[in-house]
């Protein structure tokens, strides 16, 4: 079992650690050589270095750096599709054991679980570390482990579960534990994290998890488990007490062009990427999926003298911009069509773009995910991945209140989000509980498009299959023909089953894929 991805040798879990520096954010740090954990956790600095190592894992290509989690949180729903015949296994639901089964994502998430558990076991009660730092690092580790198990249980359901570091042989032979037990424990851990974590950090530590990030994750756990009262309570805690606020301009929430101003008051938790990092995974390529490529643009690109593509290139150059992306993650036809949005919804122009600098484009694109600035080059972007923001919390509160008591007290939360979406304002009123529920399906779609919520929303509402089947896709895609009821979960990765057959003990069908 020593080669099992889930059980890599914990003696070198922090094979690369980082020194805190006075850089703009805490993730811009100097590289150190390998450090054995037996000789670690002897000071505040070492505790913080260990915590930083947890954040670094989020930068993996299998998690937030590029498609990674987006493959299973964004793709295969009714928002994003490829502009050509790529990523077909995932988008077209040709998923099976050994085929797009999320093996890299599984491994990355379990590395967070293992490393978080290692930190917790070495920090808890460690008097060599000050109480302030000990509390912070414990809170961060509890949050990170809970975030990993949130994704693991959403994507695979019942999964191997541990909270303490086990002998390698035992770790490599674990069966699956009920996701209900795992999620119950994680909610308790998050309650503790909320108590331990600070409410904010100074500018040199932006990007670390706060008590508000822990509370938002806890609210999501409750929402997904249909614990409406607790979901509402946790959402209100964030809304009423945190320093976070909704920005007046929807587009400004996603503006990443100014490197010195990439955080804003609406962001609750982000994964912080930087251009030219001092370590390999610190930048992001996700933006390139959404940025156009000049070889596709503009429409009728070869017409005229000089040709339109050359004129567009010159106009972009004058702005120090470039269409240098892969250009394949584009809006599906329905969400790209402005007539499918409520009339007057200002979010459409901030989310979708069909023409630029006076040129009609060959494809629609997600403007909210663009960064054409040449200072953020292809394959080396510095954008933050927004994991949680306050508008999502308001919509969670609205959903929970409606499920508990009907829409009367739920309007205040959804209408707060809609205030900036419409001019003049278009508040909701006069709906039945069912009407409110169904309208919220679309409200979350338009407010949170491409932000990693949609597919899991459709699954927890029980409407993924019908939505995929009723969504218009492009000629080279046919997810509606292929999707099956069992696709609401992924199969346990084939490579893990080969190393650990116990993973099939509780479910020989492997989530229906056998």
Neighbour tally for 195: CB within 10 Å: 12
Domain that residue 66 falls in: 5-241
Q: What is the mean pLDDT of residues 16-25?
A: 33
Domain boundary among 407, 434, 451: 451
CA 467, CA 485: separation in Å to the nearest integer?
12
What is the tens place of the pLDDT at every residue in 168-199?
889 889 999 999 999 999 999 999 999 999 99
pLDDT surpasses 70 at 4: no
pLDDT of residue 168: 83
Q: Are residues 304 and 192 in the same domain?
A: no
- How does DSSP assign 61-128, residue by residue? TTTTSSSTTHHHHTSSSSSEEESSS-SHHHHTT--BTTBS--HHHHHHHHHHHHHHHHHHHHHTT-TT
Q: Is 60 exceeded by the pLDDT of residue 2?
A: no
Contact 486, 511 (CB under 8 A): yes
pLDDT surpasses 80 at 35: no
Do residue 186 and residue 256 come from a single domain?
no
* Of 224, 241, 258, the domain-final residue: 241
What pLDDT, in 10s, does the model give residues 432-485? Answer: 999 999 999 999 999 999 999 999 999 999 999 999 999 999 998 999 999 999
Does 13 share its domain with 88? yes
**pLDDT band, very low/low/confident/very high, at 20 (cuts 50, 70, 90):** very low
Q: Which is more confident, 292 or 15? A: 292
Could you tell me if 257 and 200 lie in one domain? no
- Tell me the pLDDT tens digit for each residue of 190-246: 999 999 999 999 988 999 999 999 999 999 999 999 999 999 999 999 999 999 999
Average pLDDT of the chain to the nearest whole number: 91
Q: Is the pLDDT of residue 3 over 70?
A: no
Whether the pLDDT of residue 8 is over 70: the answer is no
Q: Is 5 a residue whose pLDDT tops 70?
A: no
The average pLDDT across 419-443 equals 97
Q: Indicate whether 318 belongs to any domain.
A: yes
Report the predicted TM-score, pTM, of the whole model to 2 decimal places. Answer: 0.92
Closest C-alpha among 45, 61, 46 to residue 14:
46
Number of structural domains (the chain) is 2
> Would 503 be classed as within a structural domain?
no
276 pLDDT higher than 90: no
Residue 131 sits in a domain whose CATH number is: 1.25.40.390
Listed residues 451, 474, 491: the one ending a domain: 451
- Judgement on whether residues 138 and 283 belong to the same structural domain of the protein: no
Q: Identify which of 6, 178, 177 has the alpha carbon closest to the alpha carbon of residue 106.
A: 6
Q: Which residues contact 258 (CB under 8 A, 6 or more apart)?
A: none
Share of residues in the chain with pLDDT > 90 (%): 83
User: 36-88, pLDDT tens digit by residue?
Assistant: 566 789 999 999 999 999 999 999 999 999 889 999 999 999 999 999 999 89
Q: Examine the pLDDT at 11 and tell me if it is beyond 50.
A: no
């Amino acid at each position: 079992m020593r080669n099992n991805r889930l059980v890599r040798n914990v003696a070198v879990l922090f094979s690369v650690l980082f020194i805190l520096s006075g850089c703009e954010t805490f993730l811009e740090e100097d590289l150190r050589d390998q450090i054995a954990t037996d000789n670690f956790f002897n000071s505040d600095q070492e505790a913080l270095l260990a915590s930083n190592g947890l954040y670094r894992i989020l930068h993996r290509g299998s998690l937030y750096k590029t498609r990674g989690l987006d493959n299973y949180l964004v793709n295969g729903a009714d928002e994003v599709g490829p502009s050509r015949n790529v990523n077909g296994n995932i988008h077209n639901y040709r998923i099976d054991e050994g085929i797009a089964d999320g093996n890299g994502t599984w491994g990355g998430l379990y590395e967070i679980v293992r490393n978080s558990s290692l930190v917790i076991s070495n920090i808890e009660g460690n008097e060599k570390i000050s109480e302030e730092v000990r509390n912070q690092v414990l809170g961060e580790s509890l949050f990170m482990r809970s975030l990993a198990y949130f994704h693991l249980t959403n994507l695979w359901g019942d999964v191997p579960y541990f909270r303490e570091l086990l002998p390698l042989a035992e770790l490599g032979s674990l069966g699956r534990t009920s996701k209900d037990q795992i999620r119950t424990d994680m909610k308790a851990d998050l309650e503790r994290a909320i108590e331990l974590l600070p409410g904010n950090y100074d500018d040199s530590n932006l990007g670390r998890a706060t008590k508000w990030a822990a509370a938002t994750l806890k609210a999501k756990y409750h929402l997904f488990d249909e614990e409406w009262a607790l979901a509402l309570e946790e959402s209100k805690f964030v809304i009423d007490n945190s320093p976070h606020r909704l920005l007046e301009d929807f587009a400004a929430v996603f503006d990443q062009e100014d490197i010195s101003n990439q955080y804003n008051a609406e962001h609750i938790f982000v994964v912080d990427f930087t251009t030219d990092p001092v370590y390999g995974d610190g930048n992001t390529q996700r933006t390139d999926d959404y940025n156009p490529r000049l070889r596709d643009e503009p429409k009728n690109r070869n017409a005229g003298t000089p040709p339109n593509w050359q004129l567009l290139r010159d106009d972009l150059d004058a702005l120090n911009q470039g269409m240098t992306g892969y250009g394949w993650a584009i809006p599906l036809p329905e969400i790209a069509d402005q007539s499918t949005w409520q009339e007057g919804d200002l979010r459409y122009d901030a989310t979708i773009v069909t023409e630029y600098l006076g040129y009609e484009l060959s494809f629609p694109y997600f403007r909210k995910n663009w960064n054409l600035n040449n200072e953020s080059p292809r394959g080396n972007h510095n954008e933050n991945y927004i994991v949680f923001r306050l508008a999502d919390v308001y919509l969670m509160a609205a959903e929970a209140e409606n499920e508990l008591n009907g829409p009367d007290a739920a309007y205040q939360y959804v209408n707060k989000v809609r205030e900036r979406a419409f001019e003049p304002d278009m508040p909701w009123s006069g709906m039945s509980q069912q009407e409110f529920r169904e309208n919220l399906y679309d409200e979350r779609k338009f407010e949170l498009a491409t932000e990693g919520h949609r597919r899991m929303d459709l699954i927890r509402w029980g409407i993924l299959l019908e939505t995929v089947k009723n969504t218009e896709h492009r000629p080279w895609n046919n997810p509606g023909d292929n999707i099956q009821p069992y696709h609401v979960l992924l199969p346990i990765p084939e490579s893990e089953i080969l190393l650990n057959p116990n993973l099939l003990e509780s479910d020989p069908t492997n989530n229906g894929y056998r």
